[in-house]
Amino acid sequence: MDSEIILETQNLEYFYHKDDLALRDVSIKIPKGKKTILLGANGTGKSTLFLHFNGVLKPKKGKVLYNGQEITYSAKALSELRSKVAVVLQNPDDQIFSTTVEEDVAFGPLNMGLPREEVEKRVEEALFLVNMTEYRSRPSQQLSFGQRKRVAFAGALAMKPEVLIMDEPTAGLDPQMTHELMELTDELVHLGTTVIISTHDVAMAYTWAEELHVLQNGRLVFSGKSEEFFTDPVRVHLAGLSQPVLFEINAHLESLGKGQQQPYPRNITQFISKLAPSATAPGTLHLLPVNGKLEQETIDAIIRKCNNGKARVGISGTGARIAGSVGMISADYVFNSIENCLTETILGLDAIICYDECLEGIIREKLANLMDNFGMNIKVVKEENPAQ
């Protein structure tokens, strides 16, 4: 058994109609604790594969393994599996059945047989993470589509799964909600959860995935790093997809003699790092942990120490955003703040990230990536928050 593989299928086949295979001989390995994307055009079998991972569908042929053990389909075994492998469906109306928000979020933990006190704690934590605490007693039918997606997400989080599977999670969300969701998934992976996302969004797949698996007509046609897949335009086209815009721009710059494709920048911050001349001196990144409390005067004091008394301010993390809204904190970036602040420093400006403490590892990983792969050495100063 490979201890690093948490989910696996072996020669999996499934059909809804006997002469129309939805999945054809799919053998896939999902690594533990990684950001994994299942990419494919609509109708390629992504959702069908996901529903095998937690036993909603049973293979017509082949096996599904969880932590190296073939899953079984008794009621008891499936209940245990679904407490560890949670699926968030694309349409929240297929998942929300309870009358109120808190009842729906509590449904999974209650089915796990947890004590009422633990259920209450999990509901509170999950609603906080998706910024829906104030809607706790709201009837589910009175929520907007985006709010219902948050509730469905909270219901999965409340189960504290080892694997979180999301089917087209950003469909129907506005850009800010999309950034908030992806930021939260980064945090979950950093804390040890395996997150799997299905999408046909090539930009998301290229930017976010550590592991990429591509389906085409029910077959698995690629497994590996995203840049390896997108370097072959014919393969991309045959899969009914297109190359990400950032990937194409990077390739065209090489054609114009403006450098080599490698290292492949996966986001704007890395792209700017690659283009920045070596003579450009990066600004300083100030790290300010929030932990629920933050005062504007703390930020102002840091700004006065910055270059020319100016700095961009970003708020990152659900707790930091809530603290910011309560304290009327003035911020330039509230969503995608880490990347935006890093970009500011690359351009020679100072920036301040006000963040939830659990995000510091993610910030430092991004800094290390910029240094190791793009030679960008950004000075970092960790500030103290006297309000804590």
Tell me: pLDDT of 279 over 70.
no
- Whether pLDDT at 257 is above 80: no
Question: Residue 232: what pLDDT?
Answer: 92
Domains of the chain by range and CATH?
5-238 (3.40.50.300), 280-382 (3.40.1010)
pLDDT tens digits for range 358-375: 899 999 999 999 999 998
Rounded percentage of the chain residues whose pLDDT exceeds 70: 97
**Contacts of 141 by beta carbon, 8 Å cutoff, 6+ apart:** none
Closest Cα partner for 340 from 328, 353, 330, 358?
Answer: 353
Mean pLDDT on 23-45: 94
**Preceding omega of 289 cis (within 30 degrees of 0):** no
Query: DSSP letters along 281-331, please?
Result: PP-EEEEEE-TT---HHHHHHHHHHSGGG--EEEEESHHHHHHHHHTT---
Residues 6+ apart with CB under 8 A from 167: 46, 47, 50, 87, 88, 89, 90, 198
Integer Cα distance of 219 and 57 in angstroms: 17
CB 226 within 8 A of CB 205: yes
What residues does 216 pair with on adjacent strands?
219
DSSP letter string over 171-230? TT--HHHHHHHHHHHHHHHHTT-EEEEEES-HHHHHHH-SEEEEEETTEEEEEE-HHHHH
SS3 state at 3:
coil
Question: Residue 321: phi, psi to the nearest 5?
Answer: -65, -40
DSSP 139: B
| Average of per-residue pLDDT across 194-220 | 94
How many C-beta atoms surround the C-beta of residue 330 within 10 A? 11
* 215 pLDDT higher than 90: yes
Q: Give SS3 for 80.
A: helix
SS3 call for 373: helix
- For residue 2, pLDDT over 50 is answered with no
Give the model's pLDDT for residue 118. Answer: 96
Rounded CA gap, 296 and 294, in Å?
7
Q: Whose structure tokens read 């006190």?
A: 117
DSSP reduced 3-state for 7: strand
Note the pLDDT of residue 388: 67
pLDDT band per the 50, 70, 90 thresholds, residue 245: very high
3-state helix, strand, coil in the chain (%, to 5): 45, 25, 35
Give the model's pLDDT for residue 129. 86
- Please tell me which residue, 174 or 186, carries the higher pLDDT value: 186
What value does the mean pLDDT of the chain take? 90
Tell me the per-residue pLDDT of 106-125, one tens digit each, with 9 for 90 and over: 999 998 999 999 999 999 99
Q: Is the pTM of this model over 0.75?
A: yes
358, 312, 271, 365: CA torsion to nearest 10: -20
Q: Reply yes or no on whether the pLDDT at 1 is more than 70.
A: no
95 has pLDDT over 80: yes
One-character DSSP codes across 315-371 = EESHHHHHHHHHTT---SBSSSHHHHHHHHHHTT--EEEEE-GGGHHHHHHHHHHHH
Model pLDDT for residues 282-296, shown as the tens digit of each residue: 999 999 998 777 888
